[in-house]
């Protein structure tokens, strides 16, 4: 194994309401809300940060495995990962719990009403980083709060370099905890909003935080990304997608590209472009694990996007 990806595994149930929420929610009665939406369209997707990253890394030909806690309903997802060539031997089943699940209802105006049940994810601290599995790179992705703290410390104790990707869990940590993550990490990956939040919660300028790690990567959607490393900023252009269908999971795809480049020892200019292209390929498909490509197809798309070979 090369990369051990600590983070969530989840089911994403996406429903489409063929109407508009605003036509069914009365502003003057919001204090006594009681509504029901008929959703004739529903699709269940495989998701969760560690699953999405591992899936994309496998598409690139990289070696990695998710480490997560799941419920007794995980069987069909486990089979999917196995069929895709993703290892599940570091996935721990928690009896009496459901796998983490997101329920997303979207209306015709692209408004969303979401509910998230963490389930087994809240037990992530019961899964421990193995010391004898050949792990050469660790990833701390969004997961149960206590699990993220524990796994960060376990990687540090084992001397394993870590990519810290706090994502939507960033607000759950205080200043001291976040600075501890930074101290124990070699790389940090955040989007532009998370970068501002990291600055505000730590009280440290982003440039100063970047000096404490080998690289701090900030993604900016269609505006590309920037890699802050060695006192310089490397601008990475966004790859043009075939279509903009579903942005969910694009950040995870990007991070898989980062991991692939780190594993292969590629320079940051190439690594960032691999990550950018992977995000663009993902956004053209609904769901987080429904895009596929061959090595030859990816190489051709890379050349077309950036005018150079990988």
What letters, b where the CB count within 10 A reaches 16 and e where it falls short, cover 122-136? bbbbebebeeeeebe
- pLDDT for position 25: 84
Q: Identify the residue whose tokens are 């496998």.
A: 58
Average pLDDT over residues 73-85: 97
Average pLDDT in the chain: 95
- pLDDT for position 254: 98
Which backbone phi and psi does 302 adopt, to 5 degrees? -60, -45
Task: Using the predicted structure, report yes or no on whether residue 58 has a pLDDT greater than 90.
Answer: yes
The per-residue pLDDT for range 99-139, each reduced to its tens digit, is 999 998 988 887 888 899 999 999 999 999 998 778 999 99
Average pLDDT over residues 14-20: 91
Catalytic annotation on 214?
no
Which backbone phi and psi does 173 adopt, to 5 degrees? -115, 145
Query: Which position among 12, 107, 165, 252 bears the catalytic label?
Result: 252
Task: Using the predicted structure, report yes or no on whether residue 155 has a pLDDT greater than 80.
Answer: yes
- pLDDT for position 271: 98
pLDDT-based confidence at residue 1 (cuts at 50, 70, 90): low
Longest dimension (CA), the chain: 60
pLDDT-based confidence at residue 264 (cuts at 50, 70, 90): very high
Which backbone phi and psi does 236 adopt, to 5 degrees? -110, 120
The per-residue pLDDT for range 172-200, each reduced to its tens digit, is 999 999 999 999 999 999 999 999 999 99
Enter the pTM of the model.
0.93
- How far, in Å, CA of 140 to CA of 128, rounded? 13
- pLDDT for position 10: 97
- CATH architecture of the region 3-20+42-306: 3-Layer(aba) Sandwich (3.40)
Q: Which candidate, 212, 206, 199, 283, places its Cα nearest to that of 241? A: 283
- pLDDT for position 114: 87
SS3 content of the chain, % helix, strand, coil (to 5): 40, 20, 35
At residue 53, the 3 state secondary structure works out as: helix
Task: Using the predicted structure, report yes or no on whether residue 30 has a pLDDT greater than 90.
Answer: no
Task: Using the predicted structure, report yes or no on whether residue 27 has a pLDDT greater than 90.
Answer: no
């Amino acid at each position: 194994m090369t990369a051990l990806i600590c983070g969530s595994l989840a089911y994403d149930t996406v429903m489409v309401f063929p109407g508009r929420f605003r036509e069914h929610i009365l502003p003057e009665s919001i204090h006594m809300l009681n509504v029901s939406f008929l959703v004739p369209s529903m699709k269940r997707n495989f998701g969760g940060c560690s699953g999405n990253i591992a899936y994309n890394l496998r598409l690139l030909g990289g070696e990695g495995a998710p480490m997560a806690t799941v419920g007794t309903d995980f069987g069909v997802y486990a089979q999917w990962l196995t069929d895709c060539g993703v290892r599940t031997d570091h996935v721990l089943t928690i009896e009496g719990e459901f796998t983490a699940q997101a329920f997303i209802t979207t209306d015709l105006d692209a408004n969303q009403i979401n509910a998230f049940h963490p389930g087994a994810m809240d037990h992530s601290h019961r899964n421990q980083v193995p010391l004898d599995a050949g792990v050469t790179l660790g990833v701390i992705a969004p997961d149960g709060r206590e699990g993220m703290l524990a796994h960060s410390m376990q990687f540090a104790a084992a001397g394993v370099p870590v990519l810290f990707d706090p994502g939507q869990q960033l607000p759950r940590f205080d200043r001291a905890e976040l600075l501890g993550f930074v101290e124990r990490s070699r790389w940090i990956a955040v989007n532009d909003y998370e970068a501002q939040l990291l600055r505000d919660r730590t009280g440290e300028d982003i440039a100063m935080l970047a000096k404490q790690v080998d690289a701090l990567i900030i993604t900016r959607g269609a505006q590309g990304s920037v890699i802050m490393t060695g006192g310089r900023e490397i601008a990475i252009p966004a790859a043009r997608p075939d279509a903009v269908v579903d942005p969910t999971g694009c950040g995870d795809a990007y991070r898989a590209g980062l991991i692939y480049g780190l594993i292969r020892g590629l320079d940051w200019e190439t690594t960032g472009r691999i990550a950018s292209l992977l995000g663009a390929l993902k956004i053209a498909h609904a769901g987080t694990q429904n895009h596929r490509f061959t090595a030859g197809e990816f190489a051709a798309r890379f050349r077309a996007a950036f005018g150079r070979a990988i």
